A and B are shown apart, each in its own frame.
Chain A
Amino acid sequence: MKTRRGRAWRTAAAAVAITGGLFAGNASAQLAGHNVILVHGFQQQDLSDPPANLQEVKNAGEDYWRTFWLSRSDARIDWGSEGRVEGTIAQEAFQQLQSISQQGLCNDYCIVVSHSTGDLVTRYLLENQARWLQNAGLQPLKILASIDFSGAGGGTELADLALSIAYNDSWYNWPLKQAVRAFTGINPQPGNLGVVNDLQTNAARNLAVSPNNIPRLRFVAGGSSFGGITKPFIAGTDDGVVPTHSACGATTSRGIDSCSSGLSLAGKVSNQNGPSALYFNHYPILMNEGASHSGVLGSETGNISVPVVNNRTLNGLRVDFASRTYNQRAWWQWWGSGDQYVEVPNSNQTDMSTLVYNTLNN
């Protein structure tokens, strides 16, 4: 989810920007030799000021990724957050899927990069795109993998709470109301929540969860958004918007603290309240305790990324890869070697998006 400025200037620039709809990036915009398709997350402003047409949706989509991924992508699937996944969002997305298919952009397998609610939208599209495109006489998209930053496919408790706030005009829990306003950007009313309806934990986890063969690589943040006022209302750890149970790909909405039962979001080697199971083909790759929900898209540095190591055996070899393992004592500990931490070396000098991009394009 990202907030953005007014769209008036974009409307004026629509004619100029029209070519940016599909070919969002440049000719060299590939990831590991594969074309990149971006699927953005929830856009607050669509609830208070719904886009007038698909071009406005595309302009907002372009803005969403400007920090890092826009110039590194080949196509986008943009959608309006005032809609529902099984409604206008699917219709808007399908128009763009058709164009991508006609252009043959995924003939040699594409990589999807999604953020936040884009995870849920991607999951729904992956379940339906082949059938819809074939019905239209087009070739289904071949997807190599989806790289999901702060994936909201399992919903967020903030959306559950937004619904109750929408039906409680004079309800007295002020901190909760402020948290929901920060999350939605509006005063929630029963009819103005758009895709937030799909983000309710039960709604999200009952939508298109049938397994498919597309690997979902999960990148999980744990920092603060909105000055931390949303954190108390999300189960387990979170990035201020999305709970860790969703970002990791856990099969239930029970609050968890980490994607691993032996490693914290900060990389501390310790017993953790981890997921009891993950959805099929969901692979947590990195966690970052300090990165915020939107910061994973390229705007934040200074936070340490942690590899979600469950098994150090690769191709039959036990591997001590070059993660930095170090020990640290707390202030009240007088002596001893301290707690053990694992991290990606030098990851605090970059952001998660740059780290992923540079690693894959190395």
Chain B
Amino acid sequence: MPVRLLLAIAFILLSTTGLGLYLSAENTGHFSWLSDSQPQQASTDNPDPPSGPAGSTSPPPSPPNEPSDDALGFMLASAAQEYAQDIRYPKYSLPLTRERAEGYQGNRFDPISLPLSGDGTFTVTLEKFRFVEDENILVVASVTGRQVISQRMSAALESATARDTLASSELTQSSDGFYQGQLTAAGEPGEYRLIVEATIDGEAVRHVSTLTIEPDLGDFDGLGDADIRNNDLVIPVHFKPKEAGFYSLSAQLLDNGRPIALLNAEKRLDSTSNTIDLRAHGSVMARETVEGRLQIRHLQIRRLPAQPGDRTDYGFGPDEGYSFTPPDLESLTDTPASDPESEQRAALLQRLADKF
């Protein structure tokens, strides 16, 4: 029996010690050899460092000032410093990380979920938010949870203002449980409701989301020859507009699928002018090692509202984008851009931050 007694005592001692350690505030729930990356203090990793692409150089450090002793003041001074770094990239050529590139692809539609009684959800997904006239709209719906769902599900497209039904379709259930169907965006430009109706637990439930139908703004007609001007890689994009107006073009510049920069340009277009130059500044290009062709993707052109109350109209380039062989990029330098208004803004912010 003494052995059993000793074992029982040892068990009780070990259990008490273990419970104590478990309940200690020092127990973070992580094994130390797995938690090297766990933050030890508030100086955490920035989710998306604004200082640009990896390897880019920062401007020459300014002489260190006396640091702030005020928390909010420190944050404002920090923002001023970050802003001063950010404006070294001109707004027409901003550096992209993969994460930021995802957010700036334009024309995104994130799935919309409708909670059902209990823990169920009724979710509808589209490929995009804006569709050009006569384009097909692929609708995908799913229901999760313990609800009883009918075999049939339908989708209808209704004008947001007049409430006319533009198109309707039955959704068919695929083997993986999703319901799919297709509608056609054959309607006047404007805002529309996508109404997906299902019978759930014997009741008709409508999932409603918004999409837009855009006018045909014109035709993209490829790229011109890229060249170097000043400290920019200039990429001419041919677009023949159907109507004159003030247009804004945005696109992402990629190297083998890796995002480099978000490019933007604004220009008045008419029948005599059908090219918009996108420019990639030396501050995003100089440290790139480009071998072969570059890609331009996620082209989005907008006809900006001529006056307040007018609608912004949207057009899109080909899904596959364009690729081109860049000229020799050697002459591009990682020199900060110069925008007097932004520099003045940075100086004012800095002056404000200097108080702290």
Contacts and interface: CB of A to CB of B under 8 A. Distances in A.
B117 A173 contact: yes
Interface in A156-177: 160-161, 163-164, 166-168, 170-173, 176
A310 B43 CA distance: 5
B345 A205 contact: no
B79 to A, nearest CB: 4
A138 interface: no
A86 B310 contact: yes
Contacts, number: 282
A288 B322 CA distance: 46
A321 B76 contact: no
A211 B91 contact: yes
Given A277-B97, A307-B75, A333-B24, A90 B308 contact: yes
Most buried by B among A173, A280, A316: A280
A213 B311 contact: no
A135 B307 contact: yes
Contacts of A342: 42
Contacts of A329: 25
B318 interface: no
A189 to B, nearest CB: 11
Nearest to B112: A160
A166 B81 contact: no
B43 A309 contact: yes
Contact of A336 (B25, B50, B109, B304): B25
Contacts of A286: 72, 75
A254 B109 CA distance: 12
Given A335-B24, A339-B25, A355 B72 contact: yes
Contact of B23 (A332, A343, A345): A332
B104 interface: yes
Nearest to B195: A167
B176 interface: no
A329 to B, nearest CB: 4
B109 to A, nearest CB: 5
Band of interface residues on B: 35 or more
Interface in A211-233: 211-215, 217, 232-233
B304 A190 contact: no
Interface stretch (B2-10, B178-186, B203-211, B226-234): B203-211
Contacts of B344: 109
A152 B39 CA distance: 30
Interface string A141-161: 010110000000000000011
B42 A94 contact: no
A275 B97 CA distance: 13
A209 B24 contact: no
Interface string A264-290: 000001110011111111010110000
Contacts of A190: 160, 163, 193
A278 B305 contact: no
A166 to B, nearest CB: 7
Main SS class of interface, A:
loop
A203 B102 contact: no
Interface string A317-344: 1010111010101101111111110111
B339 A283 contact: no
A72 to B, nearest CB: 16
B82 interface: yes
B246 interface: yes
B103 A252 contact: yes
Contacts of A334: 20, 23-25
B115 A163 contact: no
Contacts of B42: 262-263, 269, 309, 312, 323, 325, 340, 342
B246 A91 contact: no
Interface string B313-343: 0000000000000000000000000010110
Interface stretch (A5-13, A37-45, A50-58, A194-202): A194-202
A212 B24 CA distance: 49
B196 to A, nearest CB: 10
A164 B208 contact: yes
Contact of A176 (B27, B102, B115, B161): B115
Given A86-B309, A209-B104, A163 B64 contact: no
B242 interface: no
30 contacts: A109-B344, A128-B304, A161-B115, A176-B115, A190-B160, A190-B163, A197-B160, A200-B209, A200-B210, A206-B106, A260-B44, A262-B43, A263-B44, A277-B47, A277-B100, A280-B94, A280-B100, A307-B71, A310-B45, A315-B67, A316-B62, A321-B68, A321-B73, A327-B25, A333-B23, A334-B20, A343-B71, A359-B70, A359-B76, A360-B76
Given A278-B47, A321-B74, 7 more contacts: A171-B205, A191-B161, A191-B163, A262-B45, A308-B75, A316-B62, A339-B25
6 A-B pairs with least C-beta separation:
A251-B103, A262-B44, A336-B25, A94-B308, A277-B99, A333-B25
